[in-house]
Structure 1
Amino acid sequence: MISRYPAIASDITKLFAARNTHAVEVAVLQPADPFLDMAGEDLRRRIFLTESETGQTLCLRPEFTIPVCLDHIASQAGTPRRYSYLGEVFRQRREGGNEFFQAGIEDLGDGETAQADARSLADAHALLSLVLPDQALAITLGDQTIFEAVLAALGLPRGWRMRLARAFGSAAMLEAALADLANPPRNGQLAGPVAALVLDGDLEGLSTHIAGGMEQAGLSASAGRSPADIARRLIEKA
């Protein structure tokens, strides 16, 4: 490892190798347009720009993700594929130096999206644990898809899942919904099975239940509103 790298660089590269990644190098001088296209013109004042002899706008690489992905496309390499990198990036910052090291992994093309997301989280945690061995790390996930998957796994009725999902991102709304869930209001006008079907938003099941009740009572479904109409209205009111 050449001396310009930090002392921990060898440990980082060993971790990358253990996590089944392909180490890559990308050029320090990069076309500026891909970065500006992705991050907007606001990035222009924070990167170091120059111009080639042919008039192309170039910059010192401000990060690795875009160059790694562009090189992957240019090489026509297959996927899934995991790339790791460690090297200098260059950005003008209000605090700290304008040249610093960046290490990371680009995990491309895995069809199992949830598995790839979990692996990326584990990669980041392993790298930070290596670099900051004495720090207690906490993970905060802000992905609504994960939140909705947790709600589904809890087996909550559909109505409650929808209400809690709508509260995602608002602590006050979520606390109010959880308080109602812990002490749900009782609707004395609905029998137990009907109340459960209404709360679950099970239109087909509720329609079938109502149709059965009408048949037992000798009521004709064609004389008024259909069981499906009644079920839909009950669910809407709930």
Structure 2
Amino acid sequence: MKSKNLSENILKSLKSSGFDYIDLDTVIPTNLILERSGESFRSLIFSFIDQNGKEICLRPDLTIASCIKYLNQKKKSYSKVYYNGQAFRKVQKKNDKIIRDQIGFEIIGSKDEKRDDRQIINTGIKVLNKFRYKSGSITIGNVEIFHLLINKLDIPKRWKLRLQRHFWRESYFNELLRRLETNSDVDETIVELDKKRYFKMFKQNQNRNIAGRSLREILIRFDNKIKDPRRQIKGQNVVKIIREYLKINCKMSNAATILNAFFKKNKINLTVGKNYFPITKDKVSKLNVNFSSSFGRHLEYYTGMVFKITINSNSRKIQVNGGRYDNLISDLGSSKKIPAVGGAISLND
């Protein structure tokens, strides 16, 4: 099937599933990207200054462009949308593509998140039925479980936030685990010098700014470190638990049982019900279904369920990826949290 005909058939399939088509802006304000993803993300975007002196960039992601559109239209209601177009992102690997042709579909503003998670996955399966294939797989993960686990661990709050924030940056996340495990970045001599500096600064004008922060803010942060120090023995145990958790990979029907056994073994007060997941069977249609605790680290805005559907059609691997991103619209400027879940298929693979 030619690419154009295939794209048209997928779009028709989404329309017949009750999704409404929307056009997305090709360029978006750069600050909306950097404020939520960090200045380091600048190396991945194509940005420039417009005639009014405002920095804008080519959309690096269609989901972000869709959420910005939802926000700008000041919608408050339930919305099912689909779209297609190109995303532009600088590549880090030689064989990666700068321009990605994608078709995406989303449900925004719903109050029945579990139902919508299932609907998005089922829509992804329906999209892939446009291809001929004999077998494939669905991988389910859940970023929310990871965040809940981290919140239960006996480590300083600042380290919990750090691990949660950088979960999607796998190499840096592993470096954080190494530091937490060994305390290799802690120099006791410098710590003592910092304590002396702290008491000296405490006597100064706390409204004075240093490098963009008030002296009061700096002292509060340092006070938290003193009262909640990082201890190597606890760090070693915490890292062991995290690494063990990230190795969990099993059939979908066993996921809740295995997770609960893990929590019980490590004396963590968490329980996962079997119906917590959008799929509980090991096979859906011709697709084998597995749970992976480490899956979902490729995009930083996922907050809950994540999935990947993979098929092999005529020696070509085709995927639908997606998940839940309940904080994205508020990160982009909404005054309230708006739940959202979606998926996308890349037409370049």
Distance 2:135 2:90 in 1: 30
The aligned counterpart of 1:69 is 67
Q: Answer yes or no: is 1:122 the counterpart of 2:127.
A: no
The aligned counterpart of 2:148 is none
The aligned counterpart of 2:89 is 91
Aligned Cα root-mean-square deviation (Å) = 3.2
Aligned to 1:65, what secondary structure does the other structure show?
A: helix
The aligned counterpart of 1:104 is 104
The aligned counterpart of 1:52 is 50
Deviations 1:161-213 (A, max 9, x none): xxxxx9865549949x49x9xxxxxxxxxxxxxxxxxxxxxxxxxxxxxxxxx
Distance 1:119 1:168 in 2: 28
Aligned pair count reads 155
Counterpart code for 1:142? G
Distance 1:71 1:109 in 2: 14
Distance 1:72 1:144 in 2: 24
Deviations 1:31-74 (A, max 9, x none): 11112223222321111111112221111111111221121122
Structure whose residues are more often helix by fraction: 1
Q: Answer yes or no: is 1:134 the counterpart of 2:129.
A: no
Runs of 4+ in 1 over 6 A off after TM superposition: none
How much has 1:84 moved relative to structure 2?
0.3
TM-score normalised per structure 2: 0.39
The aligned counterpart of 2:198 is none
Counterpart code for 1:101? D
Distance 1:116 1:171 in 2: 25
How much has 1:76 moved relative to structure 2?
2.5
Deviations 1:50-109 (A, max 9, x none): 111222111111111122112112222342111101111111122233112111112101
Counterpart code for 1:110? S
Deviations 1:138-178 (A, max 9, x none): 112223879xxxxxxxxxxxxxxxxxxx9865549949x49
Distance 1:99 1:7, change over 3 A: farther
The aligned counterpart of 1:201 is none
Distance 1:55 1:77 in 2: 29
The aligned counterpart of 1:150 is none
Distance 1:23 1:121 in 2: 19
Distance 1:25 1:74 in 2: 13
Q: Answer yes or no: is 1:21 the counterpart of 2:30.
A: no
Distance 1:135 1:45, change over 3 A: farther
Judge conservation of contact 1:129–1:135 (CA < 8 Å) in 2.
no
Aligned residues with identical type, % of pairs: 21
Judge conservation of contact 1:61–1:90 (CA < 8 Å) in 2.
yes
TM-score normalised per structure 1: 0.56
Structure whose residues are more often strand by fraction: 2
Aligned to 1:53, what secondary structure does the other structure show?
A: coil
Distance 2:134 2:96 in 1: 21
Counterpart code for 1:64? L
The aligned counterpart of 1:31 is 29
Distance 1:91 1:7, change over 3 A: farther
Q: Which has the larger radius of gyration?
A: 1
Counterpart code for 2:125? H
Distance 1:59 1:144 in 2: 28
Aligned to 1:25, what secondary structure does the other structure show?
A: coil
Aligned to 2:140, what secondary structure does the other structure show?
A: coil
Deviations 1:118-137 (A, max 9, x none): 1111122222343x532622
Distance 1:61 1:145 in 2: 27
Matches within 5 A, 1:154-193: 169-171=246-248, 174=258, 177=261
Distance 1:136 1:42, change over 3 A: farther
Matches within 5 A, 1:197-208: none
Counterpart code for 2:121? L
Distance 1:140 1:97, change over 3 A: closer
The aligned counterpart of 1:199 is none
Q: Which moved more, 1:24-33 or 1:118-127?
A: 118-127
Aligned to 1:134, what secondary structure does the other structure show?
A: coil
Question: Any unmatched runs of 5+ in structure 2?
Answer: 146-241, 250-256, 265-349
